[in-house]
A and B are shown apart, each in its own frame.
Chain A
Amino acid sequence: MKWRKWNRWIHRELGYLFFGMSIIYGISGIALNHGVARHWNPGIITRSVSYDYNRSITKTDVTREVIEEILEITGEKNSFKQYYFPTSDDLMIYLKGGHINVHMPSGTISVTRVRNRPVFNEVNYLHYNKPKKLWTWFSDLFALGLVLMAISGLFLVKGKKGITGRGGLTTLIGIFIPLIFLAIYLWF
């Protein structure tokens, strides 16, 4: 049948065209899922290193010299921004791309460097539609393409394994799974 030929063509060509987009949205989808669930932060990487200041200090001891000494110990002399005291025991020194937390009574220094997570930062940027403008339309096109691929995919195979056979059953299972989750978490 001619319509099957066209159906196959649509499915194949959209599959090729939106391969890159599917990967982008698939990877960022997993990242965002776990970001929302607070399992991890897909956008940034933090690395912490500890140092010992070897002496106990109080708020009144903190001078520009003390700050410079701590920056010297941690090798962060060129990235200093500002400092403040989040609590009476803690000194926070902000750096370009991180911060140093000094627990003053124990003299423990903890340097945290923060940087964007490569790949995830980029794919999330696109998934969240941060570019806006033309990207909105292209990602809309992709979303429409997904719908077309899903529909055309139903009619790729004829017979027992097709939509009128086992394929139909699998399709129904796939529709019911999100409905079950909605029923459990949202509706009842």
Chain B
Amino acid sequence: MQRLIVWVLFAMLFGSCSQSGKQEETTAEESQTEQIVKATIQELLAQPADYNGKEVAISGMVTHVCKHGGQKCFVLADDGETQIRIVPAGDIDEFKIDLEGSTVAFKGTFKVLNPVQAEALEADHDSKEHHETEMSHSQAEKADYFIEAVDFKELTQ
């Protein structure tokens, strides 16, 4: 009887192991097929919900890097007006001010805040007196969408 229980347990363990192995394989396959979406800033902002949570790659000129710790920077779209906020994530600690005026390619996750998070962001922004005057990136700074960058490369210096 004891031997039978041991065999049943062994079979269950084996079964669960092979199942998790299959799951791992499937996840690996899925991650392999998951692709980075190359998009322009205008494309992202035209249909933000479509890109929410997706890994994206964008490039453009960095117009401004936050001087207080480099915890965000802003990238200009091809139209010369629209900007998007990029925040550091992964191994990126901060953005250096030297990036201002450089064309940079960023890779990261496009995120759209839900209304509660967006409201909190706006309240936080208002309380911190970021800039005395309205800046060209102010709209992007308060926007409920941004990219959490995990990698970037300067294309021009």
The CA-CA distance from A85 to B136 in the complex, in Å, is: 9
Interface residues of B in 75-106 (CB under 8 A from A): 76, 80, 93, 97-98, 100-103
Contact A97 B98 (CB under 8 A): yes
Closest to A86 in B: B136
Contact B156 A81 (CB under 8 A): yes
Contact A41 B67 (CB under 8 A): yes
Contact B100 A84 (CB under 8 A): no
Closest to A114 in B: B97
Which residues of the other chain, A, contact B102 by a CB distance below 8 angstroms? 81-82, 94
User: Which residue of the partner chain, among B76, B98, B156, contacts A84 with CB atoms under 8 Å?
Assistant: B76
Judge if A160 is at the interface, Cβ distance under 8 Å: no
How many chain B residues touch A (Cβ–Cβ < 8 Å)?
A: 20
Contact A82 B129 (CB under 8 A): no
Contact B69 A84 (CB under 8 A): no
Judge if A43 is at the interface, Cβ distance under 8 Å: yes
Minimum CB–CB distance for B18 against chain A, Å: 39
The CA-CA distance from A38 to B130 in the complex, in Å, is: 9
Contact A84 B67 (CB under 8 A): no
Interface residues of A in 71-125 (CB under 8 A from B): 81-82, 84-87, 92, 94-97, 99, 114
User: Which residue of the partner chain, among A46, A82, A114, contacts B103 with CB atoms under 8 Å?
Assistant: A82
Contact B69 A43 (CB under 8 A): yes
Which residues of the other chain, A, contact B93 by a CB distance below 8 angstroms? 128, 130
Q: Which of B68, B80, B100, B136 counts the most A-chain CB atoms under 10 A from its CB? A: B100
Which residues of the other chain, B, contact A95 by a CB distance below 8 angstroms? 101
Which residues of the other chain, A, contact B101 by a CB distance below 8 angstroms? 81-82, 94-95, 99
Judge if A35 is at the interface, Cβ distance under 8 Å: yes
A82-B67 contact in complex given A95-B101, A97-B98, A114-B97, C-beta closer than 8 Å: no
Contact A99 B100 (CB under 8 A): yes
Judge if A173 is at the interface, Cβ distance under 8 Å: no
Which residues of the other chain, A, contact B61 by a CB distance below 8 angstroms? 82, 84, 94
The CA-CA distance from A46 to B156 in the complex, in Å, is: 23
A38-B80 contact in complex given A84-B63, A99-B101, C-beta closer than 8 Å: no
Which residues of the other chain, B, contact A92 by a CB distance below 8 angstroms? 63
Which residues of the other chain, A, contact B136 by a CB distance below 8 angstroms? 86-87
Closest to B91 in A: A132
Closest to A46 in B: B67
Judge if A148 is at the interface, Cβ distance under 8 Å: no
Judge if B39 is at the interface, Cβ distance under 8 Å: no
Interface residues of A in 38-60 (CB under 8 A from B): 38, 41, 43-44, 46
Residues of B bordering A, CB below 8 Å: 61, 63, 67-69, 76, 80, 93, 97-98, 100-103, 128-129, 135-136, 156-157
A38-B128, A81-B101 given. 8 additional CB < 8 A pairs? A38-B129, A44-B97, A81-B156, A81-B157, A82-B103, A86-B63, A86-B136, A96-B157
Query: Could you pull out 20 A-B pairs where Cβ atoms are within 8 angstroms?
Result: A38-B68, A41-B67, A43-B67, A43-B69, A81-B101, A81-B157, A82-B61, A82-B103, A84-B61, A84-B63, A84-B80, A85-B80, A86-B63, A94-B100, A95-B101, A96-B98, A96-B157, A97-B98, A99-B100, A128-B93
